[in-house]
Structure 1
Amino acid sequence: MLIPFLAALTLVVAQAPAPASSAKPVTVLLAPTDAARGTPRYLIGIAQEHVAEQLKARGLEVIRVEDVTRTLTKKQRTAMMRCKRTQPACIASLGAAAKTDVVMVTEVLPYLNGYKAGVRVYTAQDGAPLTEHSVPEVKKDQVMDALTRSLDEVVPITMRVLRPEPVAPPPVTPPVAQVTPQVTPGEKQPLPGPDLTPGVQPPTDLGLSDTPKVETPGRRKWAWVPAAGGVVLAGVGTVFYVQSRGKLSDLNNNEFPTLAEAEKVRDSGKRSQTIGVVGIGVGAAAIAAGALMYFLPVKQTNVQPSVTLTPQGGGLSFAGTWQ
């Protein structure tokens, strides 16, 4: 009966401590996007310079792709510039040639009535995605601000992964000095214990403790109801949230023939995201309610479950009081 509830409570996993950070600055190979696809070349150049200056201001060491390709042969340079920036093999080859920590790709692409501006960060060792951020549908004069906002998101994440802060050692508690009592020969020493009148028992021995006795509550048998319902709601919310991420991926990667179709996909993704967030939140609250019903000590309880059926669906509810 309590298996779903206990399984839901074990979903939180503690994050392992990160290794000690290094004083060496993070090196970034700044690579251009795959293709302009309608974006003016001068805008791409300005965006590259803006990102480079922002990275330097944040303490990162920037290496431009032209500085790397200048030392290669013509055949190697052509192959490197024609490889697709979203493929791990291409990113790894760029990172190996530049000997940097990460490879950052700047994107300024046409998007609906404006542009989508952002950056993508990959690890240079294997070309695996590390983090990305973009701002869709911005005007031409808003592209630089959008790139700055994207860097505000991706740079802290990159620094935490590559240069984590060292974990301070726990404080050392000094040992407690042992005090030896002084005993005078011939004197009777008092025995340790509470100062009680002879013949009077302590209150705990007479059952007069201030802690109330907890009767066996009947509400524990209903604790699985909100817990199981919370697990179901959280699962449904997760499904809708994953669907919303899929809609977002479609908007970012696909080109739609009309603006109406793109807006339809966007609205559907927003609905799925709203349902997902609400489902996960309500599910978590229901799981917490089940935990309180099961673990909190109470004297008396009166829980009444009820089932409601309507033409549009049904529901399971419970009501009760305890002291």
Structure 2
Amino acid sequence: MILKEIRSIFQSELQGIYDREETDILFFRLTEAYCNITRLTLALQPEITLTREEEQPVFEALARLKQHQPIQQILGKTIFYGLEFRVDENVLIPRPETEELVDWILKDCRAQQAEDPTILDVGTGSGCIAVALAKNLPKARVSAIDISGAALKVAEENAKRHNVSVDFIKKDIMEAGEEYEYKLDIIVSNPPYIRNLEKKEIKNNVLLHEPHLALFVEDESPLVFYEKIADLAKSGLRKGGVLYFEINQYLGKEMIEMVESKGFKDICLKKDLSGNDRMLKAVW
């Protein structure tokens, strides 16, 4: 079948789910992944044709896109902080906002010439934060915990893929006690923070296919994970250690008040590139 005809089928079948430009982006990500055909290739060779065997995975992917499945899950991978990560239905797909959090931590470490910090990533999911930090701070001692064994398997694979050492631990943070072999320099977390009342803002590709365990909290206790992590950080961080959070954009004021009440200082609320309150840093 002529490739430009398949492109037209994508536009028709995905109308109402994605706009034309989004559909084209998805289409060419698939043709490049499965057939090594880019947008430029089609522009230069408008009559290029796919064989039946080449067509099959592209049309299978189309069927999954119609069910609102994220392209990252279909391809089984995504890029985070310049690194390729495996993802599946057991982990949250890494977001650009989380890249900004990693970048903030790395810039702080370099500014302080801290080449070998001890770091704990709480709720690691795919391992994107822990692995990216370990890759960029090769002398760091990095640990990461998650409640999901399936997520940890993905995270371990990602650590191996990038040849970094991360100590992955299966643990429910809400049941964790003060169990530290050594004091930490950094605790970082991107915990569940979307309130149920905000579900209406969430697209179906997230709502239907990403783990709710990693996304949502009850409306009446939206800071439950942050409060627990902050409590553990009080005993786990060394004096001068830093707590970094990715946060709900609507709860910046509440987050500042919470960490202040627990004795943290030098609190900094930072906006993401979209102008939303998205990251918080506090010093113990």
Q: How would you bin the TM-score normalised by the shorter chain?
A: under 0.3
TM-score computed with the length of structure 2 as normaliser: 0.27
Q: TM-score, normalised by structure 1?
A: 0.24
